[in-house]
């Protein structure tokens, strides 16, 4: 049974950035979305560079306050080898996220892996800065991904850097369903 503790409305939203080489950036954003759902807040998550069947897609279907859409292919994009299709998918993701942000239906907007999309030249940082600055004042905005550009860090209200201390990937252990994807 899905129970909302107490319906909440945000009077003021802030800009979060979850970045760094450590694991947990998307998980932190999803954790925020699930916590917010318990208070009746609605979250829209645009996943950039992702087109695979990640576990959060199925889990979010159980919570009507969370909407996730993917804007990527089911293959990896390699730096300096982005295709026109990769760029178009990112542009579509930004356009859709802009519509969601301005629709009045959502309290939180997450641009998952947007920092890495910028790094891979799928989206210009100037366009993301414009997106951040155009958000309504009551929208909480979360930007995730490695390599967050300094220009975004400068305008964020909260920046968390995930630092890798040790990772089992170093032992050639692949991403596991339910844990990393």
Query: Does residue 175 lie within any of the structural domains?
Result: no
Looking at the structure of the chain, the number of domains it has is 1
Query: Does residue 180 lie within any of the structural domains?
Result: no
Report which secondary-structure segment, H or E, holds 122.
Answer: none
pLDDT score at 15: 98
Query: Does residue 6 lie within any of the structural domains?
Result: no
pLDDT score at 80: 75
Query: Does residue 172 lie within any of the structural domains?
Result: no
Strand partners, 19: 161
The runs of H, that is alpha helices, within the chain are: 25-37, 55-60, 84-102, 114-119, 125-134, 150-155
Look at residues 74, 167, 72, 172 and name the one whose alpha carbon lies nearest to residue 120.
72
Give CA–CA dist 153/151, Å, rounded: 6
Query: Does residue 113 lie within any of the structural domains?
Result: yes
Query: Does residue 123 lie within any of the structural domains?
Result: yes
Q: Which domain holds residue 63?
A: 15-161
Query: Does residue 178 lie within any of the structural domains?
Result: no
Query: Does residue 179 lie within any of the structural domains?
Result: no
Verdict on whether the full-model pTM lies above 0.95: no
The pair of structure tokens assigned to 160 is 């968390």
pLDDT score at 1: 58
Give CA–CA dist 152/150, Å, rounded: 5
Structure-derived torsion over alpha carbons of residues 64, 15, 32, 71, reported in degrees to the nearest 10:
60
What are the mean pLDDT values of the chain's consecutive 10-residue runs (181 residues total)? Answer: 74 97 94 95 94 77 93 78 89 98 98 96 97 97 98 98 85 75 69
Give CA–CA dist 72/104, Å, rounded: 25
What's 56's domain CATH number?
3.40.50.300
């Amino acid at each position: 049974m899905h129970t909302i503790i107490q319906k909440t409305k945000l009077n003021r939203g802030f800009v979060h950035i979850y970045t760094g080489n450590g694991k947990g950036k998307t998980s932190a954003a999803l954790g925020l979305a699930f916590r917010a759902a318990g208070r009746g807040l609605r979250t829209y998550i645009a996943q950039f560079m992702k087109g695979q069947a990640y576990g959060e897609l199925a889990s979010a279907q159980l919570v009507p306050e969370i909407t996730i859409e993917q804007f990527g292919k089911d293959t990896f994009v390699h730096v300096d080898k982005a295709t026109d299709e990769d760029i178009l998918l990112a542009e579509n993701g930004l356009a859709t996220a802009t519509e969601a942000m301005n629709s009045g239906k959502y309290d939180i907007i997450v641009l998952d892996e947007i920092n890495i999309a910028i790094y891979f030249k799928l989206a210009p940082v100037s366009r993301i800065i414009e997106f951040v600055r155009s958000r309504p004042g009551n929208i909480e905005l979360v930007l995730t991904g490695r390599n967050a550009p300094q220009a975004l860090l400068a305008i964020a209200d909260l920046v968390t850097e995930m630092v890798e201390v040790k990772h089992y990937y170093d032992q050639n252990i692949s991403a596991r369903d339910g844990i990393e994807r």
